[in-house]
Amino acid sequence: MYRYDSYDQAIVDARVEEFRDQTQRRLTGALTEDQFKPLRLMNGLYLQLHAYMLRVAIPYGTLSGKQMRKLGEIAGKYDKGYGHFTTRQNLQYNWIKLADAPDILAELATVEMHAIQTSGNCIRNISSDQYAGVSADEVADPRPWAELLRQWSSFHPEFTYLPRKFKICVIASDDDRAAMRLHDIGLKLVERDGVVGAEVYAGGGMGRTPMVAPLIRDFVAEDEIISYLEACLRVYNRYGRRDNKYKARIKILVHEIGVEEYKRQVEDEFAHMRELGLNPPVEELARIRAFFAAPAYESGLSDEIDRSNRAFALWVDRQVAAHKAPGYAIVNISLKPIDGIPGDASAEQIGLVADLAEAYSFDELRVTHAQNLVLPHVKKADLFAVWQKLVAAGLAEANLDLITDIIACPGLDYCALANARSIPLAQKIAARFAAAERQAEIGELKLKISGCINACGHHHAGHIGILGVDRRGVENFQLLLGGSGAEDASLGQITGPGFSEDGVVDAIEKVTDIYLAERESGERFLDTYRRIGMKPFKEAIYG
Amino acid sequence: MKILTGNDLASGDVIWWAGDGWSRQVSDAVDVGTHGDDLARAEEAALRVVGAYVIDATLGEDGVRPAHIKDRIRAFGPTVRPDLIEQPTEADIGKWVI
């Protein structure tokens, strides 16, 4: 994992003291709310439905045990005993007092964490693949690239006031586990003639105008990636619309001027940037990369797993993924218990996962955009012990990528922007499909719920997506089918008129029934939908 | 009726104008008539509230009830965490929100 050097620590510590002073000035009236709001947002502090909400950055979703433990301690000390892991691989506290916020940031700084780049029209926290560094199919570990981009983008003076927020994702596998093409810029590391570089996608995103990012450059070498991204951002910063926030994201610019014209302008700017010598020195890349060296895996370990305990075997089949090192496995920890809140974890659960990371996973864990956690390096011989501890903590649900592994935004229960509640709906759907046999029969089905058009719950990218809307003060839910955030990225299509909360649960059951009746061998729900189209599903839903 | 709500500046708690100060209970909210915006400005200037705004509400047998579900959830707390709600002893409170 990357560790702060003295510059990193000094920057973060100075930021904490600056915000402490700003907060004090707000509490004594020296700053008005209009003056203070942009300052608190730059430190991740929002004012939500019930209280202040603090969004903590988890760069590319990677945490140490110590950092995770601190997150749990803060949840217990300053919040109401829990935190919420988000689709941006971050963590949100829902019940923060303004006066406590500087102390919380100071505590975070002691474990090399902060809340910078979690709000505002800047380059946001960089996201990545939760299997980075441990997946057998990646061409290189994407995290050194993500860290390089984090350092480049933090407090970048030219890109602190962009037309709108800007999200970048880096992956390195053909399997896209991070919704890369639904970011403002997505980088996919590839190898060409023995050299590692990146395919660059630009202009993706969800929200009110969802778009899948088109490829804008087939290859950028690693020593030129900063210059190329500077060029991409410069064109956007110059021409992105500042007159209308709903048309200010880069996806609108790319769409309005066209992919070819955007590419041409970026190439012109890139040619100019190349002359400026802005690329980081190769030694800096090497320095960063050294932090992400593989841990000291033991050799000669067995790949055998004792499957005599049936519940354990079912959990292994669903939650454990292949690791590149013999004798090791990737453990996915579900934060989607049937009667729980997607992405929520108690202070005690957070602390337990920190302990597990330290004891069994080389002191490392990951947060996924699907609001789950990952222990990336667990010996297969330790899986049973890890599972037993997860069972005791209520963290052993075996539902990864199944219909109850639901992404849901906080919705109207917490969010000031929401129009409808996402969480109770997720709970009703999970209850309807709770039987393990039924979930297994349906197989992979990614269901995603957003409580408003801003799409924090990624509903456009759900095999089944749900969008909550406000119909004259009453919650109503639109149903979408056929979206995907994976390597086969696509946007879901609305089935037709919306439903009540109970009505949409019934509609989903009809949709899955049609899938089970129509599917051919080996087809996932998404495959069947793409083969037979919307019509049979609509007929089943609306009669 | 028109009632005034916002968040306590320091704690962030949801608060309701009760006539002579702010209350955590929506049941204490009073009709502010046409004075809501002036009150909001004065109370914000006095550092007692942030983000104050006037909403429609009704006064019935079950007390003061904000007209919009968003404000009823603000009054009640997250509907998915009954352990955190403002009035956990009221059996029918869920119906009050929805």
What residue spans define the domains of chain B?
2-97
Q: Are residues A56 and A140 in the same domain?
A: no
**In this model, does residue B89 exceed pLDDT 60?**
no
In this structure, is residue A95 part of a structural domain?
A: yes
Q: Which chain B residues are within 8 Å of A96, Cβ to Cβ?
A: 12
Q: What three-state secondary structure class fits A30?
A: coil
pLDDT per residue as tens digits for the range B3-48: 999 999 999 999 999 999 999 999 999 999 999 999 999 999 999 9
Calpha distance A286→A148 (Å, rounded): 11
* Contact present, A479 and A538 (Cβ < 8 Å): no
Calpha distance B45→B62 (Å, rounded): 33
When pLDDT is cut at 50, 70 and 90, the band that residue B86 belongs to is low
**Structure-block tokens of residue A394:** 């209520």
**In this model, does residue B91 exceed pLDDT 70?**
no
pLDDT of amino acid B97? 84
3-state secondary structure A504-519: HHHHHHHHHHHHHHHC
Strand partners, A12: none
Average pLDDT taken over every residue of chain A? 97
A378: CB partners within 8 A, 6+ apart: A328, A329, A330, A331, A360, A361, A386
Q: Which chain A residues are within 8 Å of B95, Cβ to Cβ?
A: none
Q: Are residues A329 and A388 in the same domain?
A: yes
DSSP designation for B11: T
Strand partners, A322: A329
Interstrand relation of A185-192 and A195-202 (parallel, antiparallel or unpaired): antiparallel
pLDDT of amino acid B88? 56
Size of interface A-B (CB pairs under 8 A): 67
How close A478 gets to chain B, by Cα (Å)?
19
H or E element: which one contains A501? helix A501-518
Provide the CATH number for the domain around residue A81.
Answer: 3.90.480.20
Extract the runs of DSSP E, i.e. beta strands, from chain B: 2-7, 14-17, 22-23, 50-60, 63-66
Interstrand relation of A168-171 and A185-192 (parallel, antiparallel or unpaired): parallel
In this structure, is residue A129 part of a structural domain?
A: no
pLDDT of amino acid B87? 64
How close A425 gets to chain B, by Cα (Å)?
10
B38: CB partners within 8 A, 6+ apart: none
Q: Are residues A173 and A270 in the same domain?
A: yes
Residue with tokens 């370990």: A301
Inter-chain CB proximity A421 and B80 less than 8 Å:
yes
DSSP designation for B22: E
H or E element: which one contains A228? helix A225-239
Give the CA-trace dihedral at A42, B7, A469, A345, to 10 degrees: 70
Calpha distance A172→A199 (Å, rounded): 10
* Contact present, A90 and A126 (Cβ < 8 Å): no
**Structure-block tokens of residue A350:** 């957070």
pLDDT exceeding 90 applies to what percent of chain B?
A: 79
**In this model, does residue B90 exceed pLDDT 70?**
no
Ranges of residues in chain A with a pLDDT under 50 are none
Q: Are residues A433 and A383 in the same domain?
A: no
B65 in contact with A at a CB cutoff of 8 Å?
no
How close B34 gets to chain A, by Cα (Å)?
23
* Contact present, B77 and B65 (Cβ < 8 Å): no
Calpha distance A355→A69 (Å, rounded): 8
Q: Are residues A414 and A387 in the same domain?
A: no
* Contact present, A189 and A139 (Cβ < 8 Å): yes
Q: Are residues A165 and A278 in the same domain?
A: yes
In this structure, is residue A116 part of a structural domain?
A: no
> Range of A76's domain?
6-109
The dihedral sign for the CA sequence A179, A181, A184, A190: positive
* Contact present, A298 and A390 (Cβ < 8 Å): no
A239 in contact with B at a CB cutoff of 8 Å?
no
Q: What three-state secondary structure class fits A95?
A: strand
Q: Are residues A87 and A13 in the same domain?
A: yes
Calpha distance A300→A538 (Å, rounded): 55
Whether the full predicted model's pTM is greater than 0.80, yes or no, is: yes
DSSP designation for A446: -
Provide the CATH number for the domain around residue A211.
Answer: 3.30.413.10
Q: Are residues A315 and A428 in the same domain?
A: no
DSSP designation for A54: E
Give the number of other CB atoms < 10 A from CB of residue A441: 10
Q: CA A257 from chain center: how many Å?
A: 29
Calpha distance A437→A446 (Å, rounded): 17
Calpha distance A507→A107 (Å, rounded): 47
* Contact present, A187 and A199 (Cβ < 8 Å): yes
Write the single-letter amino acid at A347.
A
Calpha distance A305→A412 (Å, rounded): 44
Residue in B13, B67, B80 nearest the CB of A51: B13
B97 in contact with A at a CB cutoff of 8 Å?
no
In this structure, is residue A348 part of a structural domain?
A: yes
How close B64 gets to chain A, by Cα (Å)?
17
* Contact present, A414 and A53 (Cβ < 8 Å): yes
pLDDT of amino acid B95? 74
Inter-chain CB proximity B50 and A51 less than 8 Å:
no
- Concatenated DSSP letters for A430-496? HHHT--HHHHHHH----EEEESSTT-TT-GGGSSEEEEEEEETTEEEEEEEES-B-STT-B--EE-S
Give the number of other CB atoms < 10 A from CB of residue A508: 24
Inter-chain CB proximity B84 and A80 less than 8 Å:
yes
Q: Which of A363, A392, A421 finishes a domain?
A: A392
- In chain B, the N- to C-terminal Cα span, in Å, equals 20
Q: Are residues A138 and A221 in the same domain?
A: yes
Residue in B77, B80, B84 nearest the CB of A424: B80
* Contact present, A238 and A231 (Cβ < 8 Å): no
Q: Are residues A144 and A89 in the same domain?
A: no
pLDDT per residue as tens digits for the range B55-72: 999 999 889 999 999 999
In this structure, is residue A128 part of a structural domain?
A: no
Write the single-letter amino acid at B60.
G
* Contact present, A144 and A292 (Cβ < 8 Å): yes
Q: Which chain B residues are within 8 Å of A418, Cβ to Cβ?
A: 70
**Structure-block tokens of residue A78:** 């300053």
Q: Are residues A193 and A102 in the same domain?
A: no
Q: Are residues A248 and A211 in the same domain?
A: yes
Closest by CA position to A342, among listed A400, A277, A300, A288: A400
Counted domains in chain A: 4
pLDDT of amino acid B74? 96
B97: CB partners within 8 A, 6+ apart: B69, B72, B73, B76, B79
pLDDT of amino acid A519? 98
The dihedral sign for the CA sequence A488, A490, A495, A501: positive
pLDDT of amino acid A105? 98
* Contact present, A108 and A149 (Cβ < 8 Å): no
How close A312 gets to chain B, by Cα (Å)?
30
Calpha distance A286→A79 (Å, rounded): 40
The dihedral sign for the CA sequence B40, B41, B42, B48: positive
